[in-house]
Amino acid sequence: MSKKRIVVTGAGGFVGHHLSKYLVSQGYWVRGVDLKRPQFSKTACHEFKILDLREKKNCLKATKDMEEVYALAADMGGMGFIDSNHATILYNNSLINLFTIEAARLNHCRRLFYTSSACIYPKYKQTSTQVTPLKEEDAYPADPQGAYGWEKLITERMCLHYREEYGLETRIVRFHNIYGPEGAWKGGREKAPAALCRKIALAKFSGKPEIEIWGDGEQTRSFCFIDDCVVGIHKLMRSEHRDPLNLGHDQLVSINQIVDIIASAAGIAVKKKYIEGPQGVRGRNSDNTRLREVLGWAPQISLEEGLRRTYHWVEERVRQEIPRDRRG
Ligand code: NAD
């Protein structure tokens, strides 16, 4: 039997790289597409194309002869990046998604998987640290926090309408803070878990155990380890569920608690210094009721285990960058 041919866009990025590896292990023939190759290890893709997906002709090349599309490419980063690049994000991601979906239709791809985000949920549902977990139907009336969330919401609508009007089968996931090794860990695009791992590793090596935290550290979130994420993506793609679905952990933690878990993985005690910085909404958690119903599954890897693995990966990167004579 010939292998199913699929394309993963954003295959040079964090989730796309892990997903490509997982899909190859499941027996697919995988084409990866991105502006860049994966930064930390070799791609598992059978073919890798460097293409700018803000151009329609490139989206047509990316999806040509592919049965299925996993559309992950996006201009994105952590709260610092998302909070200060609204116009850029809206422009780049709208073009990428409009053209990817249209190209999938024109090339007669059968299925398209779209990675939306918990950032689509309205601000007014996320005002306290002890927030009620967000159900899929909480998305409306819409009031996402920024352009990143608005663009994701519009693309969700595109997916629904392309299915209704053209019969392109679409699957839509809403990620809640995916983290793990081989993600951005410095440079401004890293997200909270990786940034905190870096700060704690630096504190460990410098012998100055104080780290800076944006806000009071009481803001809450849930975090899902990458190995669970790729399993969930594949299960959803193979399911017949057509509406957007949360994919995240439902263990609510504060940033202060995350710091304590990482510090314990590092084997040090850290002092927290609170500074001004973008924090996003006050609290956010995933309601996984529908995820369990639809997939008969939910993320398995504990936060402690996921953060331990992530910390040790980041610590190794930091160790390689700090000259021996500057270590404490
Ligand atoms: P990432 O930044 O690591 O990967 C995105 C990739 O898209 C990058 O490699 C980037 O080079 C590529 N890209 C950007 N512009 C492009 C262009 N014009 N043409 C081709 N490729 C381009 O991000 P990620 O964490 O792997 O996220 C993957 C997807 O999941 C994104 O759509 C993101 O919005 C979504 N998502 C991620 C999270 C999370 O916690 N990681 C949460 C919610 C949603």
- Ligand 1 centroid vs 196 CA: distance in angstroms? 20
Q: Which pLDDT score is estimated for 223?
A: 98
- Closest ligand 1 atom, CA of 12? 9
pLDDT in tens, 232-271: 999 999 999 999 999 999 999 999 999 999 999 999 999 9
Tokens of 196: 């905190």
Do the domains 180-221+251-326 and 5-178+223-247 match in fold? no
Residue range 152-161, pLDDT digits in tens: 999 999 999 9
Helix (H) / strand (E) element for 28: namely none
- Test site for ligand 1: of 14, 179, 222, most ligand atoms within 8 A of the Cβ: 14
Tokens of 111: 């299925």
Whole-structure pTM value: 0.97
Determine the Cα–Cα distance for residues 122 and 124; give it in Å rounded to an integer. Answer: 5
Q: What is the mean pLDDT of the chain?
A: 96
Residue 279 has pLDDT above 90, yes or no: no
pLDDT-derived band at 325, boundaries 50, 70, 90: low
Homologous superfamily of the 180-221+251-326 domain (CATH): UDP-galactose 4-epimerase, domain 1 (3.90.25.10)
Q: Which two tokens stand for residue 24?
A: 């190859």
Q: In angstroms, what is the span from residue 271 Cα to ligand 1's centroid? A: 33
Q: Using DSSP, state whether 167 is helix, strand or coil.
A: coil
End-to-end CA distance of the chain: 58
What's the pLDDT tens digit per position in 18-67? 999 999 999 999 999 999 999 999 999 999 999 999 999 999 999 999 99
Does residue 285 contact residue 246 with C-beta atoms inside 8 Å?
A: no
**Protein residue closest via CA to atom 20 of ligand 1:** 34
Nearest Cα residue to 147 out of 215, 209, 76:
76
Which H or E run includes 186?
Answer: none
For residue 175, report the phi and psi dihedrals to the nearest 5 degrees: -75, 145
- What pLDDT, on the 0 to 100 scale, is given for residue 327? 61
- Residue bearing the CA closest to ligand 1, atom 35: 115
pLDDT of 181 > 80? The answer is yes
Residue closest by Cα to atom 32 of ligand 1? 72
Return the pLDDT at 326.
64
pLDDT at 19: 98
- Say yes or no: CB of residue 81 within 6 Å of ligand 1: no
Residue nearest to atom 39 of ligand 1 (CA): 178
Which DSSP state fits 187? S
Top-confidence residue, 280 or 110:
110
SS3 319: helix
Query: CA-to-CA distance for 119 and 173, rounded, in angstroms?
Result: 12
Tokens of 183: 């993600």
Taking the C-alpha atoms of residue 255 and residue 257, their distance in angstroms, rounded to an integer, is: 5
Q: How far apart, in whole angstroms, are the C-alpha atoms of residue 109 and residue 66? A: 6
Give the CATH number of domain 5-178+223-247; options: 3.40.350.10, 3.40.50.720, 3.40.630.30, 3.30.930.10. Answer: 3.40.50.720
- Is residue 7's pLDDT more than 60? yes
Would you please indicate which residues are annotated as catalytic (active-site) residues?
148
Q: Which of 8, 15, 53 most suits a substitution to test ligand 1, by most atoms within 8 Å of the C-beta?
A: 15
Q: What is the pLDDT of residues 280-321, one digit of tens each?
A: 899 999 999 999 999 999 999 999 999 999 999 999 999 999
Domain spans of the chain? 5-178+223-247, 180-221+251-326
Atom 41 in ligand 1: residue holding the nearest Cα: 178
Query: How many whole angstroms separate alpha carbon 203 and alpha carbon 187?
Result: 18
Contact between 170 and 162 under an 8 Å Cβ cutoff? The reply is yes
Distance CA 186, CA 318 (A): 10
43, 76, 152, best to mutate for ligand 1 pocket (most atoms within 8 Å of CB): 76
Do the beta carbons of residue 221 and residue 259 sit within 8 Å? no
